[in-house]
């Protein structure tokens, strides 16, 4: 156990699996008390049970949260203050794959759902965490999960990429407003990370594919992003705000599929490109990916319209 976050209190959304889960574990190891929020109630309760068995239950709490619902986000922040007395760190990490398909075929409700989780969730987490931090008068750190898909280069579906670009620009547009209160606002842009959102239970098969899509010769793992979140959350990053930290094994500068990929058209490591998606699902198929929330992926075929 380290002590880089000793005495700090954090809220982590999407905290029951993948990057969020790894970050909960890392923050606890570094001395923080953590409220982790997740829409998947069963996964959250199971993880809390694991933490209790590991003797960490006194510093860990779980609350079921839909980050697109303001009352839920406000409740998660309040829960941290009620349980641990304060809030120092907010990690707006919850995410989904969201809408996929050709832009001419996408359903408005799928597009809106994608933005409600990826963009609105970041806004709400920032809003309510900042309110508490301003009132405390001791500053704080707000970290948001963006993506290399938001940096550019066609690294993801349209709605996902646009929402993640929005996260990056939200950070840059808002950091100055919060700086006077010593609240730092940053983003992390992961590349291909071996999480349930991506590998769908096929981690062993996916790992070598991800490793081939970037210069660094191993797949990105949730722990890599947790380390970046720890840096931005800790006092080591006290002079860092308004920054989008790319953590992608060199994927962005080299371009996706540098030494082979998942498809003939290459891939970003976050999702297959649209030509590969079309080949796999069929022409005209659209839908929405709910990630690890426990809600099934939806496919819509032309004949179903």
Rounded Cα gap, residues 240 and 155, in angstroms: 26
Mean pLDDT value of segment 238-254: 93
CATH architecture of the region 9-300: 3-Layer(aba) Sandwich (3.40)
Catalytic pick among 160, 224, 247, 277: 160
Q: How confident is the model at residue 264 (pLDDT cuts 50, 70, 90)?
A: very low
DSSP 182: T
- Stated pTM of the model: 0.86
Any catalytic annotation for residue 79?
no
pLDDT computed for residue 217 by the predictor? 86
CA angle, residues 130, 60, 129, in degrees to nearest 5:
5
Q: Percentage of the chain surpassing pLDDT 70? A: 81
Phi and psi angles of residue 297, each rounded to the nearest 5 degrees, phi first: -65, 145
Using one digit for the tens of pLDDT, what is the confidence trace for 74-122?
999 999 999 999 999 999 999 999 998 999 999 999 999 999 999 999 9
Position 297 confidence tier, pLDDT thresholds 50, 70, 90: low
CB within 8 A of 254, min separation 6: which ones? 214, 215
What are the strands of the beta sheet with 183-190, ordered from one edge?
60-64, 33-38, 9-13, 89-92, 140-145, 183-190, 244-247
Quick: pLDDT tens for 13-30.
999 999 999 999 999 999
């Amino acid at each position: 156990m380290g002590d880089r976050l000793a005495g700090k209190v954090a809220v982590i959304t999407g905290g029951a699996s993948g990057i969020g889960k790894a970050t909960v574990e890392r923050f606890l190891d570094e001395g923080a008390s953590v409220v982790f929020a997740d829409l998947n109630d069963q996964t959250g309760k199971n993880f809390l049970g694991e933490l209790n068995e590991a003797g960490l239950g006194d510093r860990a709490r779980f609350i079921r949260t839909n980050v697109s619902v303001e009352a839920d986000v406000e409740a998660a922040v309040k829960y941290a203050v009620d349980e641990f007395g304060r809030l120092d760190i907010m990690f707006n990490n919850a995410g989904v794959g969201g809408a996929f398909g050709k832009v001419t075929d996408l359903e408005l409700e799928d597009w809106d759902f994608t933005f409600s989780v990826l963009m609105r969730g970041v806004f709400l987490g920032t809003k309510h965490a900042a309110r508490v931090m301003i009132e405390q008068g001791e500053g704080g750190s707000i970290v948001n999960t963006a993506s290399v898909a938001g940096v550019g280069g066609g690294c993801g579906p349209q709605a996902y990429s646009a929402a993640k670009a929005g996260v990056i620009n939200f950070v840059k547009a808002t950091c100055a407003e919060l700086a006077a209160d010593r609240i730092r606002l940053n983003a992390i842009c992961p590349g291909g990370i071996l999480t349930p959102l991506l590998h769908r239970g096929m981690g062993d098969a996916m790992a070598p594919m991800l490793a081939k899509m970037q210069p660094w010769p191993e797949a990105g793992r949730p722990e890599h992003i947790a380390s970046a979140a720890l840096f931005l959350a800790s006092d080591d990053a006290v002079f860092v705000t308004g920054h989008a930290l790319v953590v992608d094994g060199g994927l962005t500068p080299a371009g996706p599929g540098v030494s082979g990929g998942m498809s003939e058209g290459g891939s970003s490591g976050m999702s297959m490109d649209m030509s590969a998606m079309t080949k796999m699902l069929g022409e005209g198929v659209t839908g929405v990916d709910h990630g690890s929330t426990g809600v099934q992926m939806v496919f819509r075929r032309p004949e179903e319209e």
